[in-house]
């Protein structure tokens, strides 16, 4: 799955620098760099985490900022995330049971409660901080595998 690989490589190589810039500059697409959140979510879903609540949050954000969501390819990314058949497909690498457990332990606690149109409009710094925290955590986890 080439889109998933692209998400994974972007997270590993670029971290959140673009996402932070987008959150601090409203002229930039609000979802630019958001792949730092999408890969950990896709892993969470593959580990049995709450997909429905995450999808509701993503839908609310996409509805609040439809042009940005479409421009960033968010609907396509979400569709691709739902079509994945396993963690190995996401990262294009076979994992041992221990490695899978490590990824799941990092992914299952993730939630998007902080991601609402109201919060995003009122506090772009919080959004950038949350995205950066998720990205750094998963870069560390991926680096340990």
What does the domain layout of the chain look like in residue ranges? 2-144
Alpha-carbon distance of 102 to 17, in angstroms, equals 25
Task: State the CB neighbour count (10 A cutoff) for residue 65.
Answer: 19
- What are the residue ranges in the chain where pLDDT is below 70? 1-27, 122-128, 145
pLDDT digits (tens, 9 = 90+) for 56-81: 999 998 999 899 899 888 898 898 88
What is the SS3 assignment for 123?
coil
Q: How confident is the model at residue 117, as a pLDDT?
A: 76
Write down the pTM of the prediction: 0.74
Distances (CA, A) of 28 to 18, 32, 38, 71: 10, 7, 19, 11
DSSP class of 109 = T
What burial class does residue 85 get, using C-beta atoms within 10 Å of its C-beta: 0-12 exposed, 13-18 middle, 19+ buried? exposed
Mean pLDDT of the chain: 76
Largest CA distance in the chain: 44
DSSP class of 143 = H
Q: How confident is the model at residue 92, as a pLDDT?
A: 81
């Amino acid at each position: 799955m080439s889109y998933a690989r692209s998400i994974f490589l972007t997270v590993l190589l670029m971290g959140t620098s673009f996402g932070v810039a987008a959150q601090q500059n409203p002229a930039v697409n609000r979802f630019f760099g958001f792949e730092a959140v999408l890969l950990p979510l896709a892993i969470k879903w593959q580990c049995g985490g709450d997909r429905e609540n995450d999808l509701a949050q993503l839908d609310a954000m996409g509805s609040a900022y439809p042009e940005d969501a479409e421009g960033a390819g968010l609907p396509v990314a979400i569709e691709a995330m739902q079509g994945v058949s396993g963690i190995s497909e996401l990262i294009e690498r076979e994992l041992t049971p221990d490695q899978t457990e490590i990824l799941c332990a990092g992914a299952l606690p993730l939630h998007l409660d902080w991601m609402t149109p109201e919060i995003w409009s009122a506090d772009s710094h919080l959004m950038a901080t949350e995205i950066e925290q998720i990205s750094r955590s998963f870069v560390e986890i991926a680096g340990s595998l």
